[in-house]
Amino acid sequence: MELIYVLDILGTFAFAISGALVASDKKLDLFGVIIIAFVTAVGGGMLRDVLIDAHPINWIGDLNYLYTILAAVIITFLFKSKIAPLSKTMFLFDTIGLGVFTLLGLQKGLSFNLHPIIALIMGMISAVFGGVLRDVLTNKVPLIFEKEIYASACLAGGITYLILNYFNVKENVIFIIAASVIVLIRVIAVKYHLQLPKIKDDLFTKK
């Protein structure tokens, strides 16, 4: 089994866990938890595939994604009190998943002969829109719109991928470097509480 595929499954697992924890905190029943875990884990990839008309849809073509999500829900249901404190471990898996999902989405966009800019957007959608759907369905302001450098890290890693790919660097090397950029930016942003600027005043605002 390829390392990238293993990381993809681990990322799916981490995203599903995060969705299940949010749903559980919102007091949803088991079915609700499964739905939220599902959209968190594969919602971004599913939206990407719909937009580029790729078939089969990501999770339909590989049942391992569904098995992974169900396993995450069961583990959350049985061991929530033990999982919740493991924030640093889950953050690491979540961040790795963010990098892998971004680059896999970008690669898929390029394989469909999309313009690199559009492929880059598809990579970002793959990585972050599962979380957006989770937050919308649980009545929260999506994380990427409110605080923390999240989608921006995906864009930086995706641009790194495109630049290295232009210079014909080996595929595995490109993937490792670009994913590392995403992980590094995300870790630094969280550690030092970095955020993108917000629009508060403009040139015509009276002081």
**Chain center to CA of 158:** 13
In the chain, the percentage of residues whose pLDDT exceeds 70 is: 95
Q: Which H or E run includes 76?
A: helix 64-83
d(CA 48, CA 111): 13
The pLDDT value given to residue 147: 61
Q: Tell me, what's the pLDDT at 207?
A: 60
Give me the pLDDT at residue 203, please: 59
Q: How many CB atoms lie within 10 A of CB 40?
A: 31
pLDDT in tens, 40-93: 999 999 999 999 999 999 899 999 999 999 999 999 989 888 887 777 777 877
Under a CB-based contact definition with an 8 Å cutoff, are residues 187 and 112 in contact?
Answer: no
From CA 116, how far away is CA 110, in angstroms rounded? 7
The residue ranges of every structural domain in the chain are 3-191
Tens digit of each residue's pLDDT (9 = 90 or more) over 119-144: 999 999 999 999 999 999 999 888 77
The predicted structure's pLDDT at residue 103:
94
Which residues, 6+ apart, have CB-to-CB distance to 136 below 8 Å? 142
Q: pLDDT per residue over 85-109, tens digit each?
A: 777 777 877 888 899 999 999 999 9
Is residue 1 over pLDDT 70?
no
Q: What are the Cα distances from residue 30, in Å, to 53, 55, 78, 93?
A: 32, 30, 12, 24
Which residue has 């396993």 as its token pair? Answer: 71
Instruction: Output the six-digit token pair for 80.
Output: 């929530």
The pLDDT, as a whole number, for residue 10 is 86
